[in-house]
Each structure stands twice: as C-alpha cells, then as structure tokens.
Amino acid sequence: MTQLELKYGCNPNQKPARIFMRHDRELPLEVLNGRPGYINFLDALNSWQLVKALKQATGLPAAASFKHVSPAGAALGLPLNKVERQIYLAPEGTLSPVACAYLRARGADRLCSFGDWAALSDVCDGDTARCLAQEVSDGVIAPGYTDEALSILKIKRKGGYNVVKIDPDYEPDPLERRTVYGITFEQGYNSLAITGELLTNLVTQNKNLPENAQRDMLVALITLKYTQSNSVCYVKNGQTIGVGAGQQSRIHCTRLAGDKADIWWLRQHPKVLALPFLDDIRRPNRDNAIDLYISEEHDDVLADGVWQTVFKQKPDVLTRQEKADWIACLSEVTLGSDAFFPFGDNIERARKSGVQYIVQPGGSIRDDQVIATADKHGMVMAFTGIRLFHH
C-alpha cells in the first residue's frame, strides 16, 4: 500500500488527509485494527523512533507513552519493585520485560498519559496487551503482535482500538520534507546515533559517573530527541519521571518537568499508598484524586461532599511540610536538556528534585556559571556538544 486515507487532519475541518510514500514506495506499516488519524500517526511514528533508538542504545526493550507529539513517559523494560507495581496499577504475577517497559512509561505521568498513543520496541505479547487493555489509550505501534495480544486488543474500545504494525527494518530517506503555508521545507533526517561516546566530556569537578547514570543519560537524550523543544527531562532508574516540552523558556521547562518528577515521587509517599479508595473506582478517577491529594489544592478532594465519591473514609491530609520532607529524600536523578542551560537557575531548580547528574550540549556564554552552580552541589555534568531540537 502506497497511501492511506485518513478521516481528517489535525482538526475535523482539515480535509482531505492521508499518509503516503513518494515514488510509489510501499508504506512500512500496516493497520491491523481501528482507523488511526493524522495526529495518531504523528504520535505513532515519533514514538516508534524513540523506542527503537532506546533499544539500540541499551539493548533493553523500551516503551513510550505519547500525547500531542511529545512523550508523557519513556522507559526501559526493567523489573518493577513492589511500590512501582502499586503506583503503576500493575497486574499481579510475573510480567514480561516489554510489559514492564510499558507500565513504567505509562506510569511516569499518568495524567498526561490519559488517552495516549503507546509504542513498543519489541513484539507486543499477552502481558503487555492486558496492561494496554486496562488504560484509556488511542492506539499502539509495535514491530509485531502475538495472536493472544491481537485478540485482546481487537476488542478494546468496542473493537475500534488502533493497532499498527511497523517494519522494524524500515529506514527513512536521508532527506525529509514538510509543507507549511504552501512552502516546502527540506532538511537532512536526524540520524544522529546517541551512544555513550557523547558522555565522555565531564566538565564538573565531580567526574564519578556510574553505569546506571550513564544509562539514564542515554534515556534522557533519546527522549529529548523526539520531544517538542524547548525540552528537558528528569530520569531515574531507566525511565523518565518528568518531561517538560514545548516551552519558550528553558527555566519553565525545568520547573515543569521538575514539578512532574516531584509528583511521581510523592505518589510513593506512605500516605498516598495507603489512600482508602472505593473498590469500584475507575483508574482515571483514581489518578485525578491522587493528583489533587498531593497538590496544593488537596482540600478540594477532601472537602465534605467530594471525598465520599472517591474514598471509603476521609484520609489524613498530606501537609506541606510532609511533602517537602519527602521530596528532599529524592536522589540520584538525571537531568537532560535538548539545548544549553543559559543560567545556573536551572541547576538550582533541578537540585530541589534530587538531580545529581546532568547532560546537556553546553555552549552558553555562561557555561562557567552553570558549571560553578553544579560544582557547588557536587553534581556531575557532561557536555555533549550536540543540540537536539525537535519541531
């Protein structure tokens, strides 16, 4: 098939819409179920590139959760501990590595992942399909599906769930084009391979960069390569825990992603883990309630007449001091940036969310100030010399 007609473009008034290959080439993908739209395919193709690159860089299965052409989460297929199983709403029993990758990617920012597009670096198995089936999601892209997985996914959303299979060996043309306002742009495809060789220029006094931090730096850089700029992301244990995308100011990216990282960590607070939810509460309602409970607006969900719709009994308030004390325990976090940090304020904000390792291109006229700020806190910072803007 050389082209695929779509229902409409970004918005219902934008017709006609299609995806196609030039020069009568065959599309490297196949729709196995559903009818993906224009934005679905933008998410699918960007997320597929991300997970393919993560697998190539680390050798581990990878997954991503995409919304509006940026990742809400990305992760490697590492085992889940007991707390992660609880906060990611994982099913009981042994889970495959690709299912773990998906749960960690989806669980990084469950609010932003609501109605997401999922990408898997490896064949989707029954474990992963069962996890997908429990979530509000638009579709999934993977290099293949087991018969069991496909039978599960084909009944999701009353049979309308979007399932796309992509050729894992497909390579794009070296030139890519897009049209804006009737004018065609052309540039070389960003085929930059992100490897450990980019992490050798350690510019801080502290040069102790352990293997797990190097892996997290790769996760950060590859995630940023497919995130709308300006962008930064916080990574811990092989998964993003906060992504800030599309902001005009880098400090706002750093704050936004840092706030998400704090929320990810606060969801592991004993008071949050012990929240007495009603037995039949739906997953999105649970996620919204947790977000309200740990935010400054937590009184909204605990107000008389409101909490009864969520909890069996009124829970104890999580105080501002308790939250601050818990966040202060977050550590060994990696921060990545798609372009240089222009001021040390980004480093100061990152420190508040447990950042110990930083990877960025460097090249600011204030690099010395940024390095000095990192040195003040004993951080390790690598300059890659590579910018990763994505638009």
Does one domain contain both 155 and 288?
no
User: What share of the chain in percent tops pLDDT 70?
Assistant: 98
- pLDDT, residue 227, reads 96
What is the value of pTM for the model shown?
A: 0.95
- pLDDT, residue 11, reads 93
- Specify the length of the chain in residues: 391
For residue 58, pLDDT beyond 90: yes
Banded pLDDT at 188 (limits 50, 70, 90):
very high
Mean pLDDT, residues 45-65 taken together: 97
Least confident among 201-205, 219-223, 286-290, 329-333: 286-290
- pLDDT, residue 24, reads 80
| The two three-digit tokens of residue 37, written as one number | 């739209």
Select which of 162, 230, 237, 346 is catalytic.
230
Is 67 an active-site residue?
yes
DSSP string, 64-87: EEEETTEEEEEEE-PPP-HHHHHH
| Residue 192 lies inside a defined structural domain of this protein | yes
Burial class (CB in 10 A: 0-12, 13-18, 19+), 202: middle
**3-class secondary structure, 181:** coil
| CA atoms of 363 and 189, how far apart (whole Å) | 23
Does one domain contain both 144 and 282?
no
| Residue 231 lies inside a defined structural domain of this protein | yes
Question: Please, what is the average pLDDT of the chain?
Answer: 94
Does one domain contain both 119 and 246?
no
For residue 285, pLDDT beyond 80: yes
- pLDDT, residue 167, reads 97
User: What share of the chain in percent tops pLDDT 90?
Assistant: 89
- pLDDT, residue 299, reads 67
Q: pLDDT (tens digit, 9 = 90+) per residue, 369-381?
A: 999 999 999 999 9
Is 236 an active-site residue?
no
| 191 CB neighbour count, 10 Å cutoff | 8
| Residue 389 lies inside a defined structural domain of this protein | no
Query: Residue 259 is part of which domain span?
Result: 176-265+327-383
**3-class secondary structure, 223:** helix
Q: Which of 110, 138, 170 is the last residue of a domain?
A: 170
List C-alpha distances in Å: 253 to 227, 228, 391.
12, 11, 16
Does one domain contain both 142 and 291?
no
As for how many domains the chain has, the answer is: 3
CATH code of residue 243: 3.40.140.20
Select which of 52, 55, 67, 269 is catalytic.
67
Mean pLDDT, residues 162-185 taken together: 94
For residue 297, pLDDT beyond 80: no
